Chain A
């Protein structure tokens, strides 16, 4: 079933390549992503929650026996929700591209589908190298999406995104190989199989080195201060669907990497270096929030807010408390929904006004009440208001951070204030005040449906986080049992 999900987008892309009509492409894309979404929901229901800490639906095949690299995919609770989110956001990305992408549509949707496969692959791989391959393979379609359909400085941003991420992942690859070679030297068994590698207890000295090697790759993707500067550029220049995916899924790949690899593999180094991460995380939260305060570009505000939120996630992860880690997972999920939705909203505005400058907007609430209402909802969610899914994550991560160190907790919580400040000022400038434009079309049905879906999820998971959390309790339990 998992493999099927990986293959379906590829088939969809093939169909798009074969079909001659530019218009039909988006329907194919919609159908394909929809199908994947349905499959992922099915997966959700067939998943055995009582065994959420172990991998299920494993598909297994020898791929490169000479290096004993396997095609091995499967999901545990953590992967499952990542898959769900990926499927969901890709599905949302299609309608967000509907009008926005007005040329080379076939290429666009084909790339989007390829991207989906790569992203899903990252979350379901149980083989280190398979993971790495998906991790890298994702770069090409994403960079092309930014570079072809992006804004003014799209080429710079696309290249920056590509090279920056690649720069991180070279350390990852070397680290992986070192890890595997070390494993071989101990057990005589050369394998990239994650499940086998997890049994390994590494000496601290090696853990330290490998931790940093993995860290750089993941931290760039997260992105953690000071590796974050690619993100505002990429976000601002990317077309709306690109931003949605970028914020919603790609940033999570880094976090996922920490959860799936760094934490279980290098627990001692993890503990050792937690203070460093705390420092970086706190800086990320406060510093980027401050930057967001003075941005003129709506997308930049949301982008910097992403960095800020990722600071919460990182601190949660490294707090090594159940609450912190579960909060971090939930936060990234929620951030996927919320920032995806916010980028969608910004994209809708840009599509109609052809500007993203805060100063040129205003009063949209009176012209487009539906957009304003949903915008308010997502703004509040981004601020972390209880009742929205973000709150759960934010609260739990603060809980974790506070446990780790009171100072960290205090500084994190400070981010709550700044978050409110920049989001509300943005909202005010965009939606409140006297309108600066004469007319503005409110949401059409397609936009309403996709944003509405996200809104419902944000609220639903805000009140019933257990729906998601039950899938990760097992993971966290096993993880902290090992640490």
Chain B
């Protein structure tokens, strides 16, 4: 038995910290917990970030009998997850100050457990581990969505997400069962070895089902049904969290499963990813056009973005890993910033969620309005913001593999999506509203500011992200060889 526990330090720390938080929650009286818990969670996350950074080896290493494998790709992705957690905490503090819940403690440590699930998912090297950690993440998120007092929307969203999420999980399990049935193992390397000589219909079926499970998780059409309702209904910080974390975790897990293990079938599932990606890109963009609710709009936009990332999977494996990671990086910060600013503007009565609430935002808060320009233009992929580079890398990857028409479709989708990304800006700048100054909560404002600055600065100097993507690609490939 080869545990290699030291490699597992960050996860272990996070799990222990989460459990410790449960205990603290039991001790501390229920009043005025928000600040304290936010602070503690913030601290925990910061430590976890440091630990993750430390325990992300460049040459891939395995732990727990090969049940997890850490490399740079997983390390960076985990960092993304933890950064999201960090900023979510900032946004949540502000949100919880305004929308009371009885379950402040539960809220924060469920966040931690969700992140833990995501982290495990990212580094999983075995099907059962992947399945179970995915469920940790999902169930935590169901709970988070339903946690708020008298918040009917959140619960409805949680129910829908729960039902469909379970279908997705079952599909995934079924697919895993088939893979296991073909190969006799659940460990990635063994599965890979057995599969390489077995191009049977059953293998295709298994891959199809696993792929469907992932397509569901990332919200690709037609598995997307849950996404708009869930993002829309969930409390905004939760939308933020799941918008970023679920996508990162699902896509990285997808990469780690599909590229090394299912590579012999690349041509087939690549094609599927391309087709569903392009359809999703167009569908999301189109459906978002008519939205009045910004969260719902962002939900559709996330479908569209997921579609773009999916289409990148169909390129050469190296290009795919590279551009997918880049896109995920950009997408994470864009999502944080976008949902963050909505959360910031959301005061009692769901103000700030609807387009009409953005009327005259510039006169109410110039800085927020200007930040919103950065955010939405980054989402739309207008240079020189980070969002542009993400799209650009996908484009290059597609064209390099001779897929010019798909590249064009991706761009058309981004053209259509411009139609709605511009809307909040129109409302913020070009329409007049009642003059009342908005005083944004400090912590949430900081989160939005940080992520917007990331969008700007890394947009100006994309080489940083590019190098990170390259390194993670190199490390990833090293593990495959």
Q: Do A and B come from one complex?
A: yes
Checking A133, A137, A166, A177 against B407 with a beta-carbon cut-off of 8 angstroms, the contacting residue is: A177
Binding-face segment, B75-83, B435-443, B460-468: B460-468
Known interface pairs A147-B429, A170-B415; A137-B463 also in contact (CB < 8 Å): no
Would you list which residues of chain A between 219 and 272 have a CB under 8 Å from chain B? none
Q: Which candidate, B113-121, B159-167, B392-400, is the interface stretch facing chain A? A: B392-400
In the complex formed, the residue of B with least CB distance to A150 is: B430
When distances are taken between beta carbons in the complex, the residues of chain B under 8 Å from A159 are 419, 422, 426
- The smallest C-beta distance from A313 to any residue of chain B, in angstroms, reads 27
Is the pair B382, A137 in contact by a Cβ cutoff of 8 Å? yes
Is A181 a contact of B382 with CB atoms below 8 Å? no
CB-CB under 8 A from B412, the residues of chain A are 170
* Cβ–Cβ contact A139 & B422, under 8 A: no
B451 lies within 8 A of chain A by Cβ: no
B430 adjacent to A181 (CB under 8 Å): no
Taking a contact as CB atoms closer than 8 A, the residue among B373, B382, B399, B463 that contacts A136 in the complex is: B382
CB-based nearest B residue for A177: B399
How many residues on the B side are at the interface (Cβ–Cβ under 8 A)? Answer: 35
Contacting residues, chain A, for B411 (C-beta < 8 A) = 170-171, 173-174
Evaluate contact between A136 and B430: CB separation under 8 angstroms.
Answer: no
Q: Are A162 and B422 in contact (CB under 8 A)?
A: yes
Task: Known A-B contacts: A64-B463, A136-B382. Give 4 more (CB < 8 A).
Answer: A66-B467, A104-B362, A177-B399, A181-B399
CB of A148 within 8 Å of the partner chain: yes
- Rounded to whole angstroms, the CA-CA distance of A140 and B381 in the bound complex is 12
B404 within 8 A of A: yes
Within 8 Å of chain A (Cβ to Cβ): is B414? yes
B382, A139: Cβ atoms closer than 8 Å:
yes
Q: CA of A131 to CA of B177 in the docked complex: distance in angstroms?
A: 52
**What's the least CB distance linking B108 to chain A, in Å?**
37
Q: What is the minimal beta-carbon distance from B316 to any residue of chain A, in angstroms?
A: 12
A104 vs B362: C-alpha distance when bound (angstroms)? 10
Question: Is A188 part of the binding interface, using a Cβ–Cβ cutoff of 8 Å?
Answer: no
* CB proximity of B468 to chain A, nearest CB, Å: 10
- Note all chain B residues with C-beta closer than 8 A to A143: 422
B474 CB, min distance to chain A CBs, angstroms:
12
Interface contact A167-B415, CB-CB below 8 Å: yes
B143 close to A (CB within 8 Å): no
Known: A107-B362, A136-B382. A177 touches B466 (CB 8 A): no
Bound-state CA distance A140–B369 (Å) is 13
Beta-carbon nearest neighbor of B373 in chain A: A140
Q: Mark contacts of A140-171 with chain B using CB atoms, 8 A cut-off: 1 yes-contact digit, 0 otherwise.
A: 10011001100000110011001100110011
- 13 residue pairs from A and B, CB less than 8 Å apart: A66-B467, A137-B384, A144-B429, A147-B429, A148-B430, A163-B422, A167-B415, A170-B412, A170-B415, A173-B392, A174-B407, A177-B407, A178-B404
Q: Which of B389-437 contact A (CB under 8 A)?
A: 392-393, 395-396, 399-400, 404, 407-408, 411-412, 414-415, 418-419, 422, 425-426, 429-431
CA of A103 to CA of B383 in the docked complex: distance in angstroms? Answer: 28
Query: Complex formed: what's the CA distance from A83 to B400 in Å?
Result: 34
Chain A interface secondary structure, helix, strand, loop or mixed? helix
Contact of B430 among A67, A147, A166, A170 (CB under 8 A): A147
> In the complex the two chains form, what is the Cα distance from A5 to B404 in whole Å?
37
CB-CB under 8 A from B461, the residues of chain A are: 63
Query: Is the CB–CB distance between A154 and B430 below 8 Å?
Result: yes
A132 touches B396 (CB 8 A): no
Say whether, besides A64-B462, A136-B382, A173 and B430 are in contact (CB < 8 Å). no
Question: Which residue in chain A gives the minimum CB-CB distance to B460?
Answer: A63
Q: Does B366 reach chain A (CB closer than 8 Å)? A: yes
Decide if B366 touches A107 in the complex (CB within 8 Å).
yes
Interface residues of A in 165-195 (CB under 8 A from B): 166-167, 170-171, 173-174, 177-178, 181
Cβ of B388 under 8 Å from chain A = yes
For residue A316, give the distance in angstroms from its CB to the closest CB of chain B.
31
Mark contacts of B8-20 with chain A using CB atoms, 8 A cut-off: 1 yes-contact digit, 0 otherwise. 0000000000000
Bound complex: CA of A380 vs CA of B304, how far in Å? Answer: 52
Among A133, A139, A158, A173, point to the contact of B395 (Cβ < 8 A).
A173
Cα A137 to Cα B378 with chains together (Å) = 11
Beyond A107-B366, A140-B373, A147-B426, whether A177 also contacts B467 by CB under 8 A is no
Residue of A129, A133, A144, A148 most packed against chain B (CB within 10 A): A133
B residues less than 8 Å from A66 (CB atoms)? 463, 466-467, 470
Residues of chain B within 8 A (CB-CB) of A173 are 392, 395, 411
Query: Are A174 and B383 in contact (CB-based, < 8 A)?
Result: no
Q: B382 touching A64 by the CB < 8 A rule?
A: no
Check: B220 CB closer than 8 A to any chain A CB: no
Whether A136 and B383, one on each chain, are in contact in the complex, defined by CB atoms closer than 8 angstroms, is yes
Instruction: Quote the shortest CB–CB distance from A402 to chain B (angstroms).
Output: 38
Given A177-B395, A177-B399, answer yes or no on A67-B408 (Cβ-Cβ < 8 Å): no
B396, A181: Cβ atoms closer than 8 Å: yes
Q: A65 interface residue, CB < 8 Å from B?
A: yes
CB-nearest residue of chain A to B376: A140
List chain A residues, Cβ under 8 A from B373.
140, 144
| Highest count of chain B CB atoms <10 Å: which of A65, A67, A154 | A67
Question: Which are the 6 A-B pairs with shortest beta-carbon distances?
Answer: A170-B411, A133-B383, A66-B466, A147-B430, A177-B399, A136-B383
Task: Please tell me if B341 contacts chain A, counting CB pairs below 8 Å.
Answer: no
Q: Is B328 an interface residue (CB 8 A)?
A: no
A167–B407 CA distance with the chains assembled, in angstroms:
14
Of A107, A139, A148, A170, the contact of B408 (CB 8 Å cutoff): A170
- Closest CB in chain A relative to B237 CB, distance in Å: 28
Residues of chain B contacted by A166 (CB below 8 angstroms): 382, 415, 418
Instruction: Determine the distance from Cα of A63 to Cα of B463 in the docked complex, in whole angstroms.
Output: 7
Shortest beta-carbon distance, A276 to chain B, in Å?
Answer: 21
Chain A, 4-26, CB within 8 A of any chain B CB:
none
Q: Mark B345-363, 1 if CB is under 8 A from A, else 0.
A: 0000000000000000010
Q: How far, in angstroms, from A161 to B265 measured CA to CA in the complex?
A: 45
Known: A136-B382, A173-B395, A177-B395. Contact between A155 and B430, CB under 8 A?
A: yes
Question: Shortest beta-carbon distance, B322 to chain A, in Å?
Answer: 9
The residues of A that contact B399 with a CB separation of less than 8 Å are 174, 177-178, 181
**Which residues on A sit within 8 Å (CB–CB) of B425?**
144
Complex formed: what's the CA distance from A136 to B392 in Å? Answer: 13
B377 CB within 8 Å of chain A: yes
Please report which residues of chain B, range 439-477, place their CB below 8 angstroms from some CB of chain A when the two chains form the complex: 461-463, 466-467, 470
Contacts A65-B463, A67-B466, A174-B411 hold; do A133 and B396 have CB atoms under 8 A apart?
Answer: no
Q: Which residues of A contact B395 (CB under 8 A)?
A: 173-174, 177
Chain B residues near A181: list those with CB within 8 A. Answer: 396, 399-400
Interface string of A57-70 (1 = CB under 8 A from B): 00000011111000
The interface residues of chain B lying within 8 Å CB-to-CB of A104 are 362
CB nearest to B377 among chain A residues: A140
Query: Which chain A residue lies CB-closest to B398?
Result: A177
State A155–B425 Cα separation when bound (angstroms): 10
* A185 to chain B: closest residue by CB: B400
**Minimum distance in angstroms from A78 CB to a CB of chain B:** 23
B residues near A137, Cβ cutoff 8 Å = 382-384
Whose C-beta in chain A lies nearest to the C-beta of B423? A159
Q: How far is it, in angstroms, between the C-alpha of A175 and the C-alpha of B139 when the chains are bound? A: 45
Shortest distance from the beta carbon of B242 to any chain A beta carbon, whole Å: 30
Q: From residue B251, how far is it (CB to closest CB) to chain A in Å?
A: 20
- Chain B residue at smallest Cβ distance from A65: B463
Nearest A-chain residue to B419, judged by Cβ: A163
Interface residues of B in 139-183 (CB under 8 A from A): none
- Give the CA-CA distance A174 to B415 in the complex, in Å: 13
Residue of A nearest to B427 (CB): A155
Bound-complex Cα distance A133 to B462 (A): 13
Q: Which chain B positions have C-beta within 8 A of A162?
A: 418, 422
How far, in Å, is B304 (CB) from chain A's closest CB?
A: 15
Known: A144-B429, A147-B426. A177 touches B463 (CB 8 A): no
- Report how far A64 CA is from B461 CA in the complex, Å: 7
In the complex formed, the residue of B with least CB distance to A110 is B370
Smallest Cβ-Cβ distance to A140: which chain B residue: B377
* Distance A104 CA – B432 CA, assembled complex (angstroms): 13
B395 to chain A, nearest CB (A): 6
